[in-house]
Amino acid sequence: MVVALILLLVAIGSVLFHLYSPWWWTPIATNWAYIDHTINITFWITGFVFVAVIAFMAYCVFRFHHKEGRRADYNPENKRLEWWLSVGTGVGVAAMLAPGLVVWHQFVTVPADATEVEVMGQQWQWSFRLPGKDGRLGTSDVRNIGSDNPMGLNRDDPHAQDDVVIENGDLHLQVGKPVKVLLRSVDVLHDFYVPEFRAKMDMVPGAVTYFWIKPIRTGTFDVLCAELCGAAHYQMRAKVIVDDEREYHAWLEQQKTFAELSAGKAVVKATYQSGGN
Amino acid sequence: MVDIPYEGIAGIPPAEVPDVELYHPRSWWTRYVFSQDAKVIAVQYALTASAIGLVALVLSWLMRLQLGFPGTFSFIDANQYLQFITMHGMIMVIYLLTALFLGGFGNYLIPLMVGARDMVFPYVNMLSYWVYLLAVLVLASTFFVPGGPTGAGWTLYPPQAILSGTPGQDWGIILMMSSLILFIIGFTMGGLNYVVTVLQARTRGMTLMRLPLTVWGIFTATVMALLAFPALFVASVMLLLDRLLGTSFFMPSLVEMGTLSKYGGGSPLLFQHLFWFFGHPEVYIVALPAFGIVSDLISTHARKNIFGYRMMVWAIVAIGALSFIVWAHHMYVSGMFPQFGYFFATTTLIIAIPTAIKVYNWVLTLWRGDIHLRVPMLFALGFIITFVNGGLTGLFLGNVVVDVPLSDTMFVVAHFHMVMGVAPIMVVLGAIYHWYPKVTGRMLNDVLGKFHFWVTFLGAYLIFFPMHYLGLLGVPRRYFELGDAAFIPPSAHSLNAFISIVALTVGFSQMVFLFNLTWSLFKGEAAGGNPWRATTLEWQTPETPPGHGNWGKELPVVYRWAYDYSVPGAAEDFIPQNQPPRATRLVQGAAS
């Protein structure tokens, strides 16, 4: 029966494609392997249901397609069967939801030892800011934005003076150190998206959003914008480089502080004590 | 076994409402153009929706040309690409699917299936169509205004929707909002009609639990739409005020192209909450009529009662109710309060249970059926596969933490196209093959129909199934070009080219369908009144196509539920709803 066979082939073909196609997620670069595991659990459960439903349907088409003299059964309801199917579905749903919620709890619970970095989006570029020696980011406001103050830092805030400001550059992170990524936008919605990090979050003008990660391997990763932000959305790119400790500090020493960048202010070197925090 | 089919045969309550006096057209204009007959209005809705749908189809070709072969077509630039995706999405979701299911199928089928002469407010029903047409014309006009249509994405998120970095900031966005406002006004007039007709104009014996599932689906979807569209209405009005009068409902202090704007104090997330409070029910506004219709297609062509009718009705109602408390699953990475994630992930995954029950009952209806693999049944089978596929990937995106890496990627695009694009369109096409004989009196060509089905079903599956894996890889959506990105291998570009070629093929196969529709209108085989030997009332009309007032002198009286197929002891394998028990011919020797 050709129709039944094609329906079955759709299910089998989908499974084979899943197993053998070259397109799969990127090698992970952060602690969020938990998310990948949850996706795998979901693939197993939904894959089983998909094949079971289609195979059953194909069998029905094969076995019960119209022939001269065939007459259908008359069978309005079967309470017990419907009840068992509902319970079974509930169990399957719970098996996906429970790990999902546990991992979400980890995702929204930032560890106490995470350092902060700030990412700022604007049409259509990225800027980054690190807290200086004092370990605190200074306050900011879009009203302060000007040619010598692209991130709108508050000049009267002492915590802002030693902040490291990176405009049109790349962000470096240190491997193994948990980091809370604070996200801010000065114009429209953006989304700081690094596929290898798994984590992402929209950047909303008028608010500060965040996610946290712990980089687990060094490397250079593409930053893309994942929330439509206008005509050049697709060109809004940067790179994140995850360094080991030595490379990271070598990079950090070359960066300029807000005070250095803004004219007429006291110069504060962007250096850290050896060994960092 | 239960006794639903025969309960209450003896006591049909007397008619409480006298037969209605209809408006009778006196001229060609009032019969075919400014018509108050729901059947004519249905055809007007369907033709208008299909016409603007063809525009959306062409836009999808242009998008696929760009995605499959970036840099090859110089007539597509980044701005236009955004305009194409925006208009394609908005047309398909609202102006095609919503209008076609509710305005088209709703208008045609509700009065016929419940045994009414017409909608209860025929004049308002006519107005509903003309306001809808105006909305479509306003929308289409944006292609011709300075700056072109808006390119803000169909979600129209502020601030970018009304700022200068987005194409169509001049006229496009203003007309888009105006068109949506018109659409909602038009829909509300029609929607009130559908609801009141189902509740008040059912014929004698047509209890709620005897309604065909098609009516249940359309009815529930309409109630939902009446509750959900107001959220979009106020969001549209507020965004229009932000754009035109400089209010700041959705606009915080921001820098627009290097200068501080006049806005301040508003919340972009407020818009997203309003939009998705409409937007998620909207998914089910499209899905529930499809659920209802496909149930009737499967039952009729498998010659078997729908399995678990009462559970099917309750599942429709439960899905409709639950769909109002899941909206923020579209906003897991929007920056909203993160603790909301637990609640919305839980409600979202709970919806899977009534939805799964519907799927089980469809395939269980096939079990021990007498399956006629006619074109409507083929489309129903295609619907089940694409809907199950798209529904299951919804379990990924609904499960908050799994959504984090997948949101805003091609996985989402593949998911929603499978579940609310391809699946409902499978039902729309199956339903057209199913009811075309009633509307026109002629059958559609079967060979062309089967060709159309296989190319559309297999093609659509080949487009959207592999697309999930591009998203898994991390390819973002709404990208004019992928550009240089180390994580995207060359093979992903080849897959994109493949998808584009299949998409163009599927698109062109719709021309075969259009030809079939036109050709069969004149040359199709005569259908007779009930070619599928179906039980529901619309197949029992005295004339085909049904005349003005539907039923001739006497309204039908209903004696049974809508699914008396292959009843043991009956000679025929179907018993129409309006057939009195005594008139049922029995197999020789069998007792009733």
Domains by residue range for chain A, with CATH: 2-65+79-108 (no CATH), 115-261 (2.60.40.420)
Predicted pLDDT at B230:
97
Q: Regarding beta strands A238-243 and A219-225, do their DSSP bridges make them parallel or antiparallel, or are they unpaired? A: antiparallel
Residue B388 sits in the same domain as residue B522: yes
The predicted structure's pLDDT at residue A269: 42
Number of C-beta neighbours around residue B262 at 10 A: 11
Q: List CB contacts (< 8 A) between A225 and chain B.
A: 476
d(CA B132, CA B106): 15
Q: What is the pLDDT of residue A276?
A: 37
Cβ atoms of A252 and A164 within 8 Å: the answer is yes
pLDDT digits (tens, 9 = 90+) for A245-260: 999 999 999 998 888 8
Task: Write the ipTM.
Answer: 0.93
137-156 in chain A: CB under 8 A from chain B: 141-143, 145
Q: Which pair of structure tokens corresponds to residue B441?
A: 């009196």
Model confidence at A92, pLDDT cuts 50, 70, 90, reads: very high
Q: Residue B244's pLDDT is what?
A: 96
- 8 A C-beta contact, residue B470 and residue B492: yes
pLDDT band at B298 (very low <50, low <70, confident <90, very high): very high
Query: CB of A20 within 8 Å of any CB in chain B?
Result: no
> Minimal Cα distance from A61: which residue of B?
B371
Final residue of a structural domain among B480, B500, B527: B527
Mean pLDDT of the B313-334 span: 96
User: What is the pLDDT at residue B165?
Assistant: 92
Cβ of A73 within 8 Å of Cβ of B368? The answer is yes
Give the mean pLDDT of A50-74: 94
Alpha-carbon span B115 to B436, nearest angstrom: 19
**pLDDT at position B484:** 87
- Over its C-alpha atoms, chain A yields an Rg (Å, rounded) of 27
Looking only at the bridges linking them, the beta strands covering A179-185 and A209-213 are antiparallel
Residues of B in contact with A46 (CB under 8 A): 392-393, 395-396
- Mean of the per-residue pLDDT values of chain B: 93
Alpha carbons B97 and B94: distance in angstroms, whole number: 6
Q: What is the DSSP letter of B15?
A: P
A162-171, B147-156, B299-308: which has the minimum mean pLDDT?
Answer: A162-171
Confidence at B305, pLDDT banded by 50, 70, 90: very high
User: For residue B571, what is the nearest residue in chain A, using CA coordinates?
Assistant: A71
* B349–A198 C-beta distance less than 8 A: no
Do residue B521 and residue B396 come from a single domain?
Answer: yes
CB contact under 8 A, B408 and A97: no
Model pLDDT, residue B41: 96
Q: Which residues of A touch B152 (CB under 8 A)?
A: 228
Is the domain of B405 the same as that of B282? no
What residues contact residue B32 under an 8 Å CB cut-off, 6+ apart? Answer: B40
- Give the Cα separation of B381 and B458 in Å (integer): 12
Of A54, A76, A235, Cβ closest to residue B385: A54
What average pLDDT does this structure show over B353-366? 96
B590 touching A, CB under 8 A?
no
Asked if residue B427 and residue B378 are part of one domain, the reply reads yes
With beta carbons less than 8 A apart as the criterion, state whether B103 and B190 touch: yes
CA distance B249 to B278: 18
CB B251 within 8 A of CB B159: yes
Q: Tell me: do B175 and B109 sit in the same domain.
A: yes
Closest-CA distance, A62 to chain B, in angstroms, reads 9
Instruction: Nearest chain B residue to A41 by CA: give it.
Output: B396
Does residue B168 lie within any of the structural domains? yes
Angle, vertex CA B342, rays to CA B336 and CA B345, nearest 5: 95
The pLDDT assigned to A272 comes to 43
Give the structural domain span for B411. Answer: 373-527
Q: Examine the fold and report which residue of B505, B527, B549 is the final residue of a domain before the chain moves on.
A: B527
How close are the terminal C-alpha atoms of chain B, in Å?
A: 17
For position B17, what pLDDT does the model report? 55
B409 lies in the same domain as B477: yes
Asked whether residue A226 carries a pLDDT value surpassing 60, the answer given is yes
Measured between CB atoms, which of B304, B361, B465 is closest to A14?
Answer: B465
Of B575, B570, B573, nearest to B586 by C-alpha is B570
| 3-state SS, one letter per residue, for B495-552 | HHHHHHHHHHHHHHHHHHHHHHHHHHHHHCCECCCCCCCCCCHHHHCCCCCCCCCCCC
Residue A190 main-chain phi, psi, to 5 deg: -130, 180
Does B523 share its domain with B468?
Answer: yes
Cβ–Cβ contacts within 10 Å for residue A102, how many? Answer: 13
Is residue B3, in this structure, part of any structural domain at all?
no
Q: Is B370 on the interface with A (CB under 8 A)?
A: yes
Per DSSP, what are the bridge partners of residue B526? B442
Pairing of β A200-203 and β A209-213: unpaired
- The answer to whether residue B73 is domain-embedded is yes
Tell me how far apart the alpha carbons of residues B285 and B279 are, in angstroms, rounded to a whole number.
10
Q: How far is CA B579 from CA B9, B462, B539, in A?
A: 11, 45, 12
CB atoms A201 and B335 under 8 Å? yes
Place of tokens 């830092």: A153
Confidence of residue B2 (pLDDT cuts 50, 70, 90): very low
Average pLDDT over residues B296-321: 96
Say whether A86 sits in a helix, a strand or coil: helix
d(C-alpha B490, C-alpha B482), whole Å: 11
Same domain, B175 and B229: no
CA distance A116 to chain B (A): 17
Tell me whether residues A230 and B566 touch, CB distance under 8 A: no
Q: What is the pLDDT of residues B488-543, one digit of tens each?
A: 999 999 999 999 999 999 999 999 999 999 999 999 999 999 999 999 999 999 99
Residue B132: is its pLDDT beyond 80? yes
- Looking at the domain assignment, is residue B580 inside a domain? no
CB contact (8 A) between residue B388 and residue A198: no
Is A66 within 8 Å of chain B by CB? Answer: yes
Within an 8 Å CB–CB cutoff, is residue B54 touching chain A? no
pLDDT on residue A147: 83
- Does residue B404 lie within any of the structural domains? yes
Going by C-beta distance under 8 Å and a sequence separation of 6 or more, which residues neighbour residue A154? A138, A139, A140, A141, A144, A160
Test B392 with A22 for CB contact under 8 angstroms: no
Region B157-175 average pLDDT: 94
Task: Say if residue B41 is in the same domain as residue B178.
Answer: yes
Q: Which residues of A touch B486 (CB under 8 A)?
A: 220-222
Would you say B471 and B406 are in contact if contact means Cβ atoms under 8 Å apart?
Answer: yes
HSE of B546 in the Cβ direction (CA atoms, 13 Å)?
A: 28
Cα first-last separation, chain A: 71
Structural contact between residues A230 and B160, judged by C-beta atoms closer than 8 angstroms: yes
Which residues from A are below 8 Å from B473, CB to CB?
23-26, 195
| Residue B48: alpha-carbon gap to chain centroid | 15
The answer to whether the Cβ–Cβ distance between A187 and B255 falls below 8 Å is yes
Domain of B79, CATH number, reads 1.20.210.10
Q: How far is CA A81 from CA A7, A73, A192, B370, in A?
A: 25, 16, 48, 21
Q: What pLDDT score was predicted for residue B592? A: 45
Residue B388 lies inside a defined structural domain of this protein:
yes
pLDDT band, very low/low/confident/very high, at B12 (cuts 50, 70, 90):
low
**What is the C-alpha to C-alpha distance for residues B175 and B112, in angstroms, rounded to an integer?**
37
How many other CB atoms sit within 10 Å of the CB of residue A245?
Answer: 13
Find the closest chain A residue to B480 by CA distance.
A234
Residues A117-173: pLDDT tens digits?
A: 999 999 999 999 999 888 899 999 999 998 888 899 998 998 998 999 998 889 999
Q: Residues of A with CB below 8 A from B170's CB?
A: none
Q: Between chains, do A193 and B476 touch, taking CB under 8 Å as contact?
A: yes
What residues of B are in contact with residue A96 (Cβ under 8 Å)?
A: 349, 395, 399
Q: Kindly report, residue by residue over B432-457, the tens digit of the pLDDT.
A: 999 999 999 999 999 999 999 999 99
Domain count, chain B: 3
**A261-275, B300-314, B497-511: the lowest-pLDDT one:** A261-275
- Residue in A26, A42, A64 nearest the CB of B402: A42
- CA-nearest of B126, B122, B128, B129 to B23 is B122
The b/e string for B185-200 (b: 16+ C-beta within 10 A; e otherwise) is: bbbbbbbbbbbebbee
- Does residue B414 share a domain with residue B442? yes
Q: Which residue out of B250, B300, B404, B468 would a mutagenesis test of the A interface target, given it has the greatest number of A Cβ atoms within 10 Å?
A: B404
Q: Evaluate if residue B431 carries a pLDDT over 90.
A: yes
In a domain? residue B393: yes
Coil, strand or helix: which one is B184? Answer: helix
Q: Which residues of A touch B458 (CB under 8 A)?
A: 6, 10
Q: Mark whether B200 and B241 lie in a shared domain.
A: no
Per the CB < 8 A criterion, the answer to whether B100 and B45 are in contact is: yes
B42-98 tens-digit pLDDT? 999 999 999 999 999 999 999 999 999 998 998 999 999 999 999 999 999 999 999
* Chain B environment of A188 (Cβ under 8 Å): 159-160, 163, 165-166, 254
Look up residue A256 and give its two tokens.
């300029």
B272 touches chain A (CB under 8 A): no
Sequence letter at residue A213: I
Is B356 near chain A, with CB under 8 Å? yes
Select from B90, B157, B160 the residue whose CB has the most chain A CBs within 10 Å, as the one to mutate to test that interface. Answer: B160
Q: Give the closest-approach CA distance of B85 to chain A in angstroms.
A: 11
Task: Give the closest of A76, A107, A186 to B309, CB-based.
Answer: A76
Please check whether residues B322 and B424 belong to one and the same domain: no
Interface of A with B in 238-277 (CB under 8 A): none
Sheet of A115-122, strands arranged across: A164-167, A125-130, A115-122, A179-185, A209-213
Of B353, B333, B340, B354, which is closest to residue B397 (Cα–Cα)? B333
pLDDT tier at B335 (50, 70, 90 boundaries)?
very high
What band does B198 get if pLDDT is binned at 50, 70 and 90?
A: very high
For testing contact with chain B, the best of A188, A192, A208 (most B CBs within 10 A) = A188
In this structure, is residue B15 part of a structural domain?
no
